[in-house]
Amino acid sequence: MGSWHLEVLRLQPLLIELVALLSLTGVAALAFGRGLRAGTVFDEGVYLASLDALEHGQKLGSEVFASQAPGFYALLETERAIFGGSVVAMRVAMLVLALVGCIAAYYVGRCIAGPLGGFLAMALMATSSSVENEAVRVRADMPSVALSLMAIAGALFAAKRRGGAGLLAAMFAGGALAAAISVKLLAVAAVVPVLAIVLRGPGRPLAAALGAGAGGVVAALVAFDASVLGPLWNDVVRFHLKAESAHIYGAPTDFRGNVAKVVGAVAGFHGLLSPFPWLVLVGGAGTLLAWRRRQLLAALPLWLWATASGAILVLHKPLWAHDVVPLSVSLAVASGLGIATLMVQSRLVPRVVAAGCVLLVAVTIAHDVQQTTGGESPGIKWAATVLRTRTPPGSEVVSDLPIIPFLADRRQPGTLVDTSWTRLGSGWLTEAEVLRTIDRHHVSAVIVGHNFAGYPTLLRALRIRFPVILRRERVSLPGEGRVEVRIYLPADSRSVGAALDHSS
């Protein structure tokens, strides 16, 4: 009986830590999950339409334009098979992956600064507004960051273990790293911390295992997409290289603009009034103090990750706010460790500052959990209803708001699932190609509300082909204000009554 009590006492700290981890994971799920039923952004429509096209037999690269690296589409198809293909189901899948990333951040922090470092690293992730905004979005940013964190966690585990366990962990780290880059190319910044950790370990064996894991993932992707490697290279690499030198509407045009975009996205909507930049500042100061005492040296790879991410972002074009998620996460994890070291200092002032940071994190997360988000725009729902009632089931539709045909359960030509500013502004997609696709596929309707509206020649051609035009003004698009949505229909389209007919 005495030995049983002794065993319970020995396990008690571990059980408390596990309960705390599960509780913090639940809080993060509540904070991130608020966006499950929020209105969809443009990119989500692109990727959901792409997934729908793949599900109905179109081929990535040759028929479906690949806006991201092929690993992202493999991830989307896996998530659809497990969770379902609706907007909410796919967002739940993204939420699960984001929470896995949070747990990986906890493990990274725990390896370097103990349980307190793990909890603070995870909590600061949930405090970042850019992370919270992207956690459930059907986009490549958060999945690539979650996989990057898993790679860093695997590298840390490998560096602490000998023998087969360490080699397997290194292989896992390499595979996760390759998967992260295959989901979004900007995840290449995570190579820096992973290599920094592995090369400090036993050396060649771990590096070889890391390379084997990465090579296995690359080989699997190449084998799966062997028949379309050329088109995928054009879409994923050459397209983005061309966009680098193009003037893209809404994106910064120079280095200073990129810096301002990065700082604004990291700080959040309220700028310097947001808590996150101040938490990063305190965490950085705590890290420097610890380094002066030759403590927390193991945190260097995380700050290198942040540095590499920042350097890539300020040079990247076109740059969008959601691209900054890797920097926000790397700063959150590294800063959490710095704050953790302040809490165990012998002097009172650092402990008080750290305690204030913990309180600020708790208040921020509690505040965010209570906020509500709006659902899909009534104008988007109206447009989807029009398509369902005035186009034949299963027919093809072209739209510069691809979420509308997706919600209406209408197919979209794979070459036009992405009609973004980047693709149109770079010249990779032209008006002539849009019209050729419309004619070739004999589409039953065209929806204009996002990017096509800026091309008068295209609109005149559409009016000739589709003389019936239904309009809805002041349709809200998340993060983009209000637009007019126009639905172009053929002359013989079926009437749906005055309630839906806002004909021009």
Q: Looking up tokens 């940013």, which residue turns up? A: 141
**pLDDT tier, 155 (very low <50, low <70, confident <90, very high otherwise):** very high
**pLDDT tier, 250 (very low <50, low <70, confident <90, very high otherwise):** confident
Average pLDDT over residues 226-244: 91
* Alpha-helical regions (H) of 245-347: 255-267, 275-292, 300-315, 325-343
Tens digits of per-residue pLDDT, 270-308?
777 889 999 999 999 999 888 777 777 788 999 999 999
What's the gap between Cα 217 and its chain centre? 20
Tens digits of per-residue pLDDT, 58-87?
999 989 999 999 999 999 999 999 999 999
Given a cut of 50, whether residue 500 has pLDDT beyond it is no
**Residue 67 · residue 232 · CB < 8 Å:** no
Tens digits of per-residue pLDDT, 383-409?
999 999 999 998 999 999 999 999 999
Given a cut of 80, whether residue 6 has pLDDT beyond it is no
Given a cut of 60, whether residue 497 has pLDDT beyond it is no
Average pLDDT over residues 12-36: 90
Name the average pLDDT for the chain: 90
**Residue 166 · residue 159 · CB < 8 Å:** yes
Nearest to 104 by CA among 189, 166, 176: 176
Given a cut of 90, whether residue 145 has pLDDT beyond it is yes
Task: Tell me what pLDDT residue 371 has.
Answer: 79
Task: Tell me what pLDDT residue 499 has.
Answer: 40
**pLDDT tier, 479 (very low <50, low <70, confident <90, very high otherwise):** confident
Residues 6+ apart with CB under 8 A from 415: 63, 64, 65, 433, 437
Given a cut of 80, whether residue 498 has pLDDT beyond it is no
**pLDDT tier, 11 (very low <50, low <70, confident <90, very high otherwise):** low
Question: What percentage of the chain exceeds 70 in pLDDT?
Answer: 95
Tens digits of per-residue pLDDT, 84-102?
999 999 999 999 999 999 9
What's the gap between Cα 148 and its chain centre? 12
**N- to C-terminal Cα separation, the chain:** 85
